[in-house]
Structure 1
């Protein structure tokens, strides 16, 4: 499985680094069955995150037709309406700015390819939703954005990780660990995922939500 992790201006570093490390370790544990790279819609470039000017380098352009995984992070910025003194932009502004780039078109092509699984961490699902790509799909996001997600026509689920087949979404920032470990288990196998989980001394939280089985009665 080849994983392309997308960088865009204002991305949240932890949304990127946690899955990158987990998937890279999964590649080592599986004798190369997993590979991972950082990409952008524009191609190789230095991309500035939304956290203190931290930058990561995309080494390639996002290829929506390459079989495997495309992972979209959220953004890092203000979440309150108080502008504060640091001049940081609001998360919604940073996410919305992706709509004026080539990224939505590339993600649409990736989601149309049955050989590609698209995954998101935190506000990454809102990038897809604002581009009109999640109507009727089950997904999650940061708890602060669930109402926005639902307003776009998606079925917003309050869960740590939501598996909707070729769309797998994670909730808040640290859910990137759980999401990527789950993807390792689903795509490569539980023994590999368990070994990486032990390496990072991290135990996944909650049940992965899937639309299987009976719906629960009111509790």
Structure 2
């Protein structure tokens, strides 16, 4: 999908997700005027994040243009968390189906492992939280030394706060540099780290 056509965003959540992985990109997308929703492939209701935040999910878009998966709890193999979602495959299947339908798909932190389980990172450059890089390589991705990797239809971000960098990379290519600059100024955000564009 051409980035300029992206209007609807589904930020996936599940029990044990990392709050900042999901909420920070959500705020960037909303501030840029995109129709961003917090959704769960497990159904509507309340989801408990890894540090206790409880989030009520929205109804999902029929066919979201952009889907973002956060990480959370991977390093401890927490259940609930990204590890459990990797194992039960519900979210990876949702991601694979969305991608097959033309959506751009992104993973923040160990949310990238969910993209890997969906088969979306096979032999592609990708990044994740520094403690999960061996797992990412073992899952078939080519580890990139970057804060964000943008392969066009699939993006990954390194640990936690890199989700902001990923979101701004998307906003700049969806809404343009001026809108991205306005949102950066509004949020008092300062970019850092390398963005690898591999499209």
**Shorter-chain TM-score above 0.5:** yes
- Look up the SS of the partner of 1:3 in the other structure: strand
Q: Given the alignment, which residue of 28, 31, 37 partners 1:25?
A: 31
Question: Displacement of 1:59 after TM fit?
Answer: 1.1
> Which residue pairs with 1:148 in the alignment?
135
> Which residue pairs with 1:129 in the alignment?
116
Contact 1:96 1:130 in 2 (8 A): no
The equivalences for 1:99-118 within 5 A come to 99-100=87-88, 102-114=90-102, 116-118=103-105
- Per the normalisation by structure 1, the TM-score is 0.81
Aligned residues: 191
Question: Displacement of 1:196 after TM fit?
Answer: 0.4
- Look up the SS of the partner of 2:32 in the other structure: helix
What is the CA RMSD across the aligned residues, in angstroms?
Answer: 1.8
> Which residue pairs with 1:86 in the alignment?
none
Q: Distance in 1 between matches of 2:68 and 2:158?
A: 13
Q: Distance in 2 between matches of 1:58 and 1:91?
A: 24
Contact 1:71 1:119 in 2 (8 A): yes
Q: Distance in 2 between matches of 1:147 and 1:76?
A: 16
Residues 12 and 167 of structure 1: CA distance in aligned 2, closer, same or farther (over 3 Å): same
The equivalences for 1:152-191 within 5 A come to 152-191=139-178
The equivalences for 1:192-203 within 5 A come to 192-203=179-190
Q: Distance in 2 between matches of 1:124 and 1:104?
A: 10
Deviation track 1:159-182 (CA, whole Å, cap 9, x = no partner) reads 111001100111010011111111
Structure 1 residues without counterparts, runs of 5 or longer? 28-33, 80-89, 213-219
Structure 2 residues without counterparts, runs of 5 or longer? 1-6
> Which residue pairs with 2:66 in the alignment?
69
Contact 1:95 1:123 in 2 (8 A): yes
Contact 1:41 1:102 in 2 (8 A): yes
- Per the normalisation by structure 2, the TM-score is 0.89
Contact 1:143 1:158 in 2 (8 A): no
Contact 2:89 2:117 in 1 (8 A): no
Contact 1:4 1:36 in 2 (8 A): yes
Contact 1:62 1:106 in 2 (8 A): no
Question: Displacement of 1:101 after TM fit?
Answer: 5.2
Contact 1:41 1:101 in 2 (8 A): no
- Structure of greater Rg: 1
Q: Distance in 2 between matches of 1:198 and 1:211?
A: 27
Q: Distance in 2 between matches of 1:210 and 1:111?
A: 19
